[in-house]
């Protein structure tokens, strides 16, 4: 048997593990997941000025402020403001939540808006089409590997 071997109990994983690289911490902490809800940070102030129109529009959309007592994992890093002292506010952003169905409906709505705008641009472009010099409007991409045919 080899005489220069180290006993197993003296050999630890910490001694042989790689050194962890430093990474920048999150500016806005992520709350623990709640089933059926989506979270979003909403601007309540910019450079010390209250942004009331933004807050009121987001509240009308269905976002509701998250209480600090509901997420104690974030409460240690909050910077409280007088107006939103019961909520989680960090750097002028307030944590809000909304039902996942509402968020999906909102996403679908804006996807439809973008699609209709693109169709409008395409229709306007193709209206200028001339058979002598046709316009091509290909928005399809193709990924190939190898030499191709």
What is the separation, in whole angstroms, between the first and last Cα of the chain?
A: 62
Q: Within this chain, do residues 52 and 73 fall inside the same structural domain, yes or no?
A: yes
* 15 occurs within a structural domain: no
Q: Within this chain, do residues 89 and 42 fall inside the same structural domain, yes or no?
A: yes
Domain that holds residue 105: 100-130
57-103 pLDDT per residue, tens: 999 999 999 988 888 888 655 555 567 778 888 888 899 999 999 99
Cα(115)–Cα(123) distance, integer angstroms: 12
Task: Tell me how many domains the chain contains.
Answer: 2
Q: Within this chain, do residues 72 and 113 fall inside the same structural domain, yes or no?
A: no
Neighbours of 91 (CB within 10 A): 11
Q: Within this chain, do residues 107 and 88 fall inside the same structural domain, yes or no?
A: no
* 23 occurs within a structural domain: no
Q: Within this chain, do residues 51 and 65 fall inside the same structural domain, yes or no?
A: yes
pLDDT of residue 37: 94
Under a CB-based contact definition with an 8 Å cutoff, are residues 100 and 63 in contact?
no
Q: How confident is the model at residue 18 (pLDDT cuts 50, 70, 90)?
A: confident
* 9 occurs within a structural domain: no
Cα(73)–Cα(6) distance, integer angstroms: 43
48-69 pLDDT per residue, tens: 788 889 999 999 999 999 988 8
**Domain boundary, last residue among 57, 79, 98:** 98
* 92 occurs within a structural domain: yes
Per DSSP, the three-state class of 130 is strand
Query: Average pLDDT for residues 18-40, to the nearest whole number?
Result: 85
């Amino acid at each position: 048997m080899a005489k220069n071997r180290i006993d197993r109990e003296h050999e630890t994983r910490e001694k042989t593990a790689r050194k962890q690289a430093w990474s920048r911490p999150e500016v806005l902490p992520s709350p623990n997941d709640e089933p059926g809800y989506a979270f979003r940070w909403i601007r309540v102030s910019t450079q010390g000025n209250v942004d009331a129109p933004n807050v009121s529009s987001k509240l009308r959309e269905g976002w509701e402020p998250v209480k600090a007592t509901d997420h104690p994992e974030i409460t240690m890093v909050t910077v409280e403001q007088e107006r939103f002292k019961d909520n989680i506010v960090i750097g002028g952003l307030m944590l809000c939540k909304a039902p996942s169905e509402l968020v999906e409906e909102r996403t679908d709505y804006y996807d439809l808006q973008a699609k209709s705008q693109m169709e409008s641009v395409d229709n306007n472009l193709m209206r200028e089409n001339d058979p002598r010099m046709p316009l091509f409007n290909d928005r399809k991409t193709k990924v190939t590997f190898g030499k191709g045919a």
